[in-house]
A and B are shown apart, each in its own frame.
Chain A
Amino acid sequence: MSSDSSHNVSYLDYKGRWKGKITSWIFSTDHKKIGVLYLFSMLILFSIGVLFGFLMRLELIAPGKTIMEPQMYNSIFTLHGIIMIFMFIIPGLPAIFGNFFLPLLIGAKDVAFPRLNLLSWWLFMFGSLLAILSVFLPGGPVDTGWTFYVPYSVRSTTNVFPALIAAFILGFSSILTGLNFITTIHRMRVQGMTWFRMPLFVWSLYATSWIQILATPIIGITLLLVVMERAFNIGIFDPSLGGDPVLFQHLFWIYSHPAVYVMIIPAMGIISEIIPVFARRTIFGYKFIAFSSIAIALMGSLVWAHHMFTVGMSPTAMIIFSVLTFLVAIPSAIKVFNWVATLYKGSIQLDPPMLYALGFIFLFSIGGFTGLIQGALSVNIHIHDTSFIVAHFHYVMFGGTGFGIFAALHYWFPKMFAKSYNMKTAKFSFWTLFFGFNVLYFPMFVMGWLGMPRRYYDYLPEYHIYHFISTIGSWIVVIALVAMFANFIVALRKKEKFTEENPWGGETLEWKTSTPPPLENFDIEPVVDSHPYEYKMNEPDQDLLKEEGTK
């Protein structure tokens, strides 16, 4: 309905007052461009994280030294954790797909505070560059583990300081994004879009944003306290000055456990978008899925000490945290059951986004079940800080959130870039990734149960076979990721445009605008008069993307 000059211009072509190719991107306040900026910066960081993981596995292929010294290994697993957690998994889905699609999904022109949005990206880049820079500063890369446990982080002579400041700045970026999304969801929904007509991805972003706003300041302050402890020897955490190192762990996990849900809830939201589209029917139990996100956000804030069952807490605390840990599994289980029920009497097509969604359900379920194993106190005392935990959180973070991000990428890529990717390559990379993932991480459950501690540079000969299989798995995963990214890069470089508005036959609003979306998202403001996944039961549109695979 707008009559200004931006009418009908693709967001990709619009330059505004910035004439340069690069400046028209990095100073753009368009939520879609910011989403794309995040996408590329995070994929670069992700690739660095993968490289570190690959090197770690290579070192562990045989006992003794293989390719690096222990100090190097300790820095590499620390950086792998810091990059993957603070720069990819936590901010990933909200920053990339939340930015790009939240306004589209609720029929808005942009987020509530576009300039603040751009500032969050700049803060993100600043924090990330600082972390990368710290690798090259004298002192050597940080070696404390991504958890920065005191007293080690106070004593380590490596560049802990810049790493802490980097994490602090990244936290700010998250808070601003969260604030922006909450305001956007409250204030900018198009007419007719009531709360219960919002797509489930929007619900998941809403729950996530609240956690980011409420919990991130705690980690920010905690990390600053460690900085001050290192600089001025205050004695808050350092036991040699009368401080309490366990206090640090409490403060750290009060943020970092809810952060686990910041990572997983938006991925669950993506899955809830994708399954109805490819089953071509409405979602089963909409309200249960929506409210379970809120329930996870609330309950997830009260289970942090399950990371500390061996630290020596009172029996009462142990019971409460164990019970709550078990209960927080329930809303996740409800989601899984509703997703599976959504397949019932659908008309299912296994396109790449759907494959990733179903892969998510399987891998996330394994992650969830092994979480229950850890929630049991007596078992936890045995497997805590072993590779069982490493396997568990990779099933949740990579098999869950990672697969969720890849699902979203395959689902929305044509809409974002107006290019189509090769379906066969996409399916090949999915199956390779799925297979390699299990080869890589499943052996870690076994050796963890047998007593292999985590963060070990070396190991006893009896664990050799498991480490060996795991390393082979890491190669398969790398092959799959290279195939996936190559597929997208080839697609981006293609000359021909893909302008099909709705290639998958989705019902949500992003499919009701042109491909790529115009600058202000909709040429004609959409009208919402029903539930987001109300399939009219008509024959499927022709699948333009499908022809790609048959070439």
Chain B
Amino acid sequence: MAEKIVVDARNMACPGPITKLTKAYRKAKPGDIIEVLATDPGFKPDVQAWVQRTGNELLELKEENGVIKAVIKVTAKK
């Protein structure tokens, strides 16, 4: 069954958030949703580059009160 995985990388400097996303992605199954919260401003362009490279689906990317939230659907894993 698909799961929602929340990765809290708030207050982590770069490359903490992408590193945590990579770790979560290794364990994720097709169809899972990974939600990443980060405060590092570099995370926004980084997660876009990551989604493009890996071919997963970016459902949401927004910034609110200094917190960047990225919601990714795992579609590229077989």
- Physical interaction between A and B: no
